[in-house]
């Protein structure tokens, strides 16, 4: 009993460390990259995108290094399935969103293509070096497209800015007469505001060392928190699997996968509460691409060049379900230019049925 309680406690502590560590790591690494002179569009397209998937990545890497292959593979695939069939589904049900197809068609097709490739690669129950390299090439394509898209957006904003400035000048001219009339009445208030702003600026200028220390601390603490949180998560997840009597793969596909996807879930709930018209679909798709194209290949390298799932469940249930919910989410949306509630309801229904199959062991799979 004490062992189970300790395992649950460590599991929760691991999740907290991973989630908060991920936030700190992204903030710190982005600040360091910006200070080093790396353009912002490259930071957003690469460092932030990869940083948001660090919890899943480190958890699977630690699991593979400790010999928990089922948990590692389950976490990688399960996180993508949870992101799509649970998080995205909940968002679509709450707020059906219109999308710009030109912004998402490439990433959506790339994600489905990578998932299909993984399904084909693992039909023979193993992933070798060649398959891993092919998947990593896909992530290079993704990052290159991200950088190109971000650069184009940056150029567009630069071209639009003068027009906005001109509008501001015109608006300023219209307000000048009234401001002149009230100048003396407002002088005291304006001086006070100016003083406050100067104090704030002076405060910032007086503490550059403190800011540098804080950002470096966030980077180091974030990386350490992700690592140790992943260790706690893997060890406690393995213990819970043994106590409950279910496989490590199921723990990875459910508890660990959903746990490492909590940041996306919280973001989605926040968007729903604020009644936003659409989700940041690009972030979800981008995180899924990195999960699928990076985690399993890296795990295969750590495993000695060949990654072998514990059972045939990965090939004949987990990946097919993942691919099906992706097709339901993206294909109709790319054709029609919007998400519909029926897509969210169908995906969530499939996900619930999938979880029932996992926990009841309704379909027996061969052990490799």
Could you give the CA distance from residue 72 to residue 256 in angstroms, rounded to a whole number?
A: 9
Q: What is the pLDDT of residues 160-207, one digit of tens each?
A: 655 555 555 455 545 544 444 443 444 444 444 444 444 444 444 457
Comparing CA positions, the residue from 54, 141, 131, 83 lying closest to residue 326 is: 83
Comparing CA positions, the residue from 251, 234, 270, 224 lying closest to residue 94 is: 270
pLDDT: which is higher, 356 or 184: 356
* Residues forming beta bridges with residue 45, ordered by sequence position: none
CA 200 to each of CA 71, 186, 204, 208: distance values in angstroms, whole numbers, following the listed order: 49, 21, 6, 13
What is the distance of C-alpha 153 from the center of its chain? 21
Mean pLDDT over each residue of the chain, to the nearest integer:
77
Q: Is the pLDDT of residue 87 over 50?
A: yes
* Residues forming beta bridges with residue 98, ordered by sequence position: 338
Instruction: Tokens 């695939």: give the residue.
Output: 77
- Residue 328's pLDDT band (cuts 50, 70, 90): very high
Is domain 2-159+213-360 annotated with CATH 1.20.120.50?
no
The residue-averaged pLDDT of 336-358 equals 93
Q: What is the pLDDT of residue 197?
A: 46
* Residues forming beta bridges with residue 307, ordered by sequence position: 127
What is the distance of C-alpha 65 from the center of its chain? 23
The three-state DSSP-derived secondary structure of 35-57 is: HCCCCHHHHHHHHHHHHCCHHHH
So where are the chain's domains? Answer: 2-159+213-360
Could you give the CA distance from residue 196 to residue 207 in angstroms, rounded to a whole number?
A: 17
DSSP assigned state of 124: G
- Residue 152's pLDDT band (cuts 50, 70, 90): confident
Could you give the CA distance from residue 206 to residue 15 in angstroms, rounded to a whole number?
A: 37
Could you give the CA distance from residue 289 to residue 113 in angstroms, rounded to a whole number?
A: 10
Q: What is the pLDDT of residue 192?
A: 40
* Residues forming beta bridges with residue 367, ordered by sequence position: 311
Q: What is the pLDDT of residues 108-135, one digit of tens each?
A: 999 999 999 999 988 888 888 898 899 9
Q: What is the pLDDT of residue 70?
A: 84
Q: Are 132 and 300 in contact (CB under 8 A)?
A: yes
| Choice among 42-46, 234-238, 329-333, 347-351 with the minimum mean pLDDT | 42-46
The model carries a pTM of 0.74
- Residue 210's pLDDT band (cuts 50, 70, 90): confident
Could you give the CA distance from residue 365 to residue 243 in angstroms, rounded to a whole number?
A: 21
Q: Is the pLDDT of residue 90 over 90?
A: no
Q: What is the pLDDT of residue 365?
A: 76
The residue-averaged pLDDT of 11-39 equals 78
Q: What share of the chain is helix, strand, coil (3-state, %, to 5)?
A: 85, 0, 15
Q: DSSP letter string over 177-234?
A: HHHHHTHHHHHHHHHHHHHHHHHHHHHHHH-HHHHHHHHHHHHHHHHHHHHHHHHHHH
| Choice among 5-14, 51-60, 322-331, 336-345 with the minimum mean pLDDT | 51-60
The residue-averaged pLDDT of 267-273 equals 64
The residue-averaged pLDDT of 265-277 equals 63
Could you give the CA distance from residue 71 to residue 76 in angstroms, rounded to a whole number?
A: 9
Copy the structure tokens of residue 67.
């010999």
Instruction: Tokens 């190109």: give the residue.
Output: 148
Say if residue 251 is exposed, middle or buried (CB neighbours under 10 Å; 0-12, 13-18, 19+). buried
Q: Is the pLDDT of residue 146 over 90?
A: no
Q: Is the pLDDT of residue 347 over 90?
A: yes
């Amino acid at each position: 009993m004490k062992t189970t309680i300790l395992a649950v406690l460590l599991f929760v502590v691991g999740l907290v460390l991973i989630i908060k560590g991920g936030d700190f790591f992204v903030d710190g690494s982005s600040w360091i990259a910006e200070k080093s002179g790396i353009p912002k569009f490259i930071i957003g397209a690469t460092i932030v995108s990869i940083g948001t998937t660090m919890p899943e990545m480190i958890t699977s890497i630690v699991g593979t290094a400790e010999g928990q292959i089922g948990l590692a593979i389950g976490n990688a695939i399960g996180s993508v399935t949870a992101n799509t069939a649970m998080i995205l589904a909940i968002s679509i049900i709450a707020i059906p969103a219109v999308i710009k197809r030109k912004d998402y068609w490439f990433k959506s097709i790339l994600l489905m293509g990578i998932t299909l490739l993984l399904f084909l690669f693992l039909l023979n129950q193993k992933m070798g070096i060649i398959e891993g390299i092919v998947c990593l090439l896909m992530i290079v394509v993704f990052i290159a497209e991200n950088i190109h898209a971000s650069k184009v957006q940056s150029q567009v904003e630069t071209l639009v800015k003068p027009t906005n400035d001109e509008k501001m000048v015109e608006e300023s001219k219209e307000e000048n007469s009234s401001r002149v009339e009230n100048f003396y009445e407002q002088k005291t208030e304006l001086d006070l505001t100016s003083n406050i702003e100067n104090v704030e600026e002076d405060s910032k200028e007086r503490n550059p060392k403190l800011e540098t220390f804080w950002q470096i601390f966030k980077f180091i603490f974030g990386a350490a928190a992700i690592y140790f949180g992943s260790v706690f998560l893997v060890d406690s997840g393995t213990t819970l699997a043994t106590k409950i009597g279910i496989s490590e793969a199921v723990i990875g596909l459910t508890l660990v996968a959903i746990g490492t996807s909590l940041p996306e879930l919280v973001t989605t709930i926040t968007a729903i509460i604020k009644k936003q018209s659409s989700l940041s679909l690009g972030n979800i798709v981008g995180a899924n691409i990195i999960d699928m194209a990076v985690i399993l290949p890296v795990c295969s390298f750590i495993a000695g060049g060949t990654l072998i799932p514990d059972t045939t469940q990965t090939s004949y249930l987990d990946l097919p379900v993942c691919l099906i919910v992706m097709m339901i989410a993206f294909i109709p949306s790319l054709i029609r230019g919007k998400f519909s509630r029926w897509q969210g309801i169908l995906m969530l229904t499939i996900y619930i049925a999938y979880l029932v199959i996992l926990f009841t062991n309704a379909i027996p799979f061969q052990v490799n």
